[in-house]
Chains A and B, each alone.
Chain A
Amino acid sequence: MRLLHDTEGMIFMSNIRKAFENGKTFIPFVTCGDPDLETTGKIVREAVKKGAGLIELGIPFSDPTAEGPVIQGANIRALAGGVTTDKIFDFVRELRKDIVIPLVFMTYANVVFSYGSEKFISTCAEIEIDGIILPDLPFEEKKEFQPICRKYGVDLISLIAPTSNERIAMIAREAEGFLYIVSSLGVTGTRSEITTDLASIVKVVRENTDIPCAIGFGISAPEQARKMAAVSDGVIVGSAIIKLIEKYGKDSAEVVGEYVKKMKEAVTE
C-alpha cells in the first residue's frame, strides 16, 4: 500500500486503494440530487450491491464546462431541485452509515473554493469522502487545494488527457488515490468509438507510479468497458448512467443497478 506524507509529517493510507484490490474496478458516476437526493441514495446503494468498487458523487455546478449535454442536464435538474453543497454533505453523512466503499466527489473548483476550501475539505474528511476530482484544476493549479487536502487526508485526484503527452510523467509522479485517464478529446458523453492509444498512456503512467489508473469519458457499452479495463485498472461511466436516471427518474435505482452489474462483469472478464 502506498503511503502519503502530509504537511505535518503524519502518515496515512489512501482508502481509495481498496477499490482496486479485488481485480478491475467499475466506477459509476451520479449527480447528487438528480432527480432528488433520496433517489441518489437508492442508486448508490443499488450500485454498491451490484459490484461498484468506488462511486463518483457529482456536486452540481451551474456551468460545468467539462461536461457534455447529458451531464449538464443532470446538473441543471439537481440545482433546480434545490440541492446544495450542505445538503449533499448531510446526504453523504447518512450514506456512510452503511456504505463502506470509497467515495469521491466530482465537482468544479469554484464549488470548493467558494464554500471555503478548508471548510469544504475538512468536511469531506469528516464525512469520509476519500477524494476529490476537479476537472478544471490542472497540475499547475493543484497548489490551490493540495496542501489542505494533504492536511485532512483527502486525495486530490489528477487527470491525464489524450493531449497530455510529455506531461504524463510529471502528473503521474505526484498523483494520489487513482489517476483519471480521459479517454478522448472533448467533454463527457457517450461515444461510439475511442481511438486514443490508451495503452501507451498507461505505460508511461506505470513507469512513474504504482497508483491505479481508471479510464473515463465516452464509455457506455460493456464491450468498450472490457477493452478499457484490459489496459487499465478500472472504468468510469457517467453519461450512460445519467441517461438512465433521466429516463427512469425516481424509479431508476434498479435499472442503474442492472447496468452496473453488466458493466462490472464486463470489466472483470
Chain B
Amino acid sequence: MENGRFGIHGGRYIPETLMNAVIELEKAYNHYKNDPGFDRELTYLFNEYANRPSRLYYAQKLTSALGGAKIYLKREDLNHTGSHKINNVLGQALLAKKMGKTRLIAETGAGQHGVAAATAAALMNMECVVFMGEEDTKRQALNVYRMKLLGAEVIPVTSGTATLKDAVSEAMREWTSRIDDTHYCLGSVMGPHPFPTIVRDFQAVISREIKSQILEKEGKLPDAVIACVGGGSNAMGSFYHFIEDKKVRLIGCEAAGRGIDTFETAATVNTGRLGIFHGMKSYFCQDKYGQIAPVYSVSAGLDYPGIGPEHAYLHDIGRAEYVPVNDGEAVEAFEFLSKTEGIIPAIESAHAVAYAIKLAPTMDKGKIIVITLSGRGDKDCAAIARYRGDDIYE
C-alpha cells in the first residue's frame, strides 16, 4: 500500500518539515509490530493496567425491551480511563518510548483521548502536552482537571472554531516546531500515514476480542457490528477483524447534530465530500471552495469535520454503512440504556445505541447485534442534563 492508501483515500499531505518524522515513525512501527517483546509488553499493559479483555455483555433487558435481535455490548467503557482511547495511547506511548521520545503531545475533543494520553505519559514517565479547543475546555472542565492531575499541561486552543479540528491543527503546528524529543500521539484513525494504520492496529484488539467472545458465547459470528464514528477509531477497531466476514454488517453511526438537512451537523459521509485535510484524503464537511465547515454535535468527541481514510474506503466499496444519528436520538438512547441496563454510555457511544434501537426490532430473534460502548457517560451527565433544560453544575 503506497504511502498508506485505502483506495483513493489516505496518503500523507503534510508539511515537508514533518516528513522525516512520519517516515521514522513508520519504520519504527513496522519494526516493533513484529517484535514479540513489544507485543508482550503491550499485552501486559492492556491486561494488567487497562483491564482487558473488556467484557462482551449480553444485554438481556435491552434485547427484550426491543423485541428483536439479541444485543451484546462490547464494554470498552470499563477500560481504565473509561474509554477505548487507552488502547491506542498505550500502544503509541510504548512505541514512542522505544523510539527514544520523552514527550507526548495530543489533541482532544471531549477530553477522553487527552486523559488517556496524560495517563500513559504518567505511567511511562513522559512529559505530556494536550491541545484542547477553548470551547471544549469549558464544556469538559472536569477532564481538564483530570489531565492536570495526571501531570499534563493543557493548552486551550483559541484559533478557528476552538474545537477538536483546531486542537488537531494546533498539535500539528506544535509538532513541526519540536520533533526531536516529541511524539504526536494522534487519537483517531486519521491524519497522515502511518497514523490511520497504527491507530487501527492498536484498536483492532476490540474486534479480535469480540470475535472470540461471540464465538464462545453463541458459536457464530454476529449479524451486525455497530459503533459510533467521529474520526472513527473505536469503529475501525470494532470492524477490523470482521471486514473479511462479508455476512457481518458493519455500521458506523455518525453524529448528525440537529440533522443532516441542517448546517449544524458533523455527519461527514452523509453530508461531506472528498477533500484533503489534516494530512489525509478523505471525506470532509466543507463549502464549495474547500473551506472546512464548522461542524456541530451534542457530542464533543464526534464534533469533527472529517472521517478516517479507511472508513471512507469501506464506504466507497460498500463494505460498511454510515448512518446519521441526530442529537435527540442519541440523548434518548443515553437515557434508555441507563434505565434498562443500568449502564450510562458516553454520549458518543449513545449514537451507536440509538441506531441499534431502530435496527434490532426489524431483525429476527435469532440474529445478533454487537454494539461497541466506546466509553462511559459520567463525563456527559451535566451536558445532557443541560440539554434537557436542567442546569446542573459539574
Contact = CB atoms under 8 A, between A and B. Distances in A.
A-B pairs, 10 with minimum CB distance: A114-B290, A186-B177, A161-B17, A62-B291, A109-B276, A110-B290, A161-B16, A62-B292, A159-B16, A110-B276
By secondary structure, the A interface counts as mixed
Contacts of B274: 113
Interface stretch (B7-15, B111-119, B144-152, B211-219): B7-15
Contact of A136 (B15, B20, B178, B284): B15
Interface string A127-154: 0000000011111110010000000000
Contacts of B172: 65
Given A66-B173, A113-B276, 16 more contacts: A61-B290, A62-B291, A65-B173, A84-B289, A110-B277, A110-B286, A111-B289, A114-B289, A136-B13, A136-B279, A141-B13, A161-B17, A163-B20, A164-B20, A167-B19, A187-B176
Contacts of A144: 13, 276
Given A111-B290, A115-B289, A141-B11, A63 B160 contact: yes
Given A140-B19, A163-B179, A187-B173, A63 B13 contact: no
B352 to A, nearest CB: 28
B51 interface: no
B275 interface: yes
Contacts of B14: 136, 138
A84 B16 CA distance: 27
B3 interface: yes
Looking at B13, B16, B279, which has the most chain A CB atoms within 10 Å of its CB?
Answer: B16
A31 interface: no
A65 B157 CA distance: 13
B159 interface: yes
Contact of A135 (B15, B159, B179, B292): B15
B311 interface: no
B169 interface: yes
B12 A141 contact: yes
Nearest to A79: B291
Interface in B149-200: 159-160, 165-166, 169, 172-173, 176-179
Interface string A57-82: 00001110110110010000001000
Contacts of B15: 65-66, 135-136, 138, 159, 161, 182
Contacts of B289: 84-86, 111, 114-115
B122 interface: no
B298 to A, nearest CB: 23
B27 to A, nearest CB: 13
Contacts of B279: 136
Interface string A103-125: 00000111111110000000000
B16 A165 contact: no
Contacts of A68: 173
A41 interface: no
A51 interface: no
Contact of A65 (B169, B275, B286): B169
Contact of A138 (B16, B166, B177, B273): B16
Looking at A69, A136, A137, which has the most chain B CB atoms within 10 Å of its CB?
Answer: A136
Interface string B265-297: 000000001111111000010101111100000
A158 B13 CA distance: 13
A136 to B, nearest CB: 5
Contact of B13 (A79, A114, A137, A182): A137
A19 interface: no
A114 B176 CA distance: 25
Contacts of B177: 185-187
A63 B277 contact: yes
B21 interface: yes
A165 B16 CA distance: 11
B385 to A, nearest CB: 33
A163 B160 contact: no
B176 A113 contact: no
B19 A63 contact: no
A66 B276 contact: no
A160 interface: yes
Contacts of A249: none
Looking at A110, A115, A141, which has the most chain B CB atoms within 10 Å of its CB?
Answer: A110
A167 B19 CA distance: 9
A115 B169 contact: no
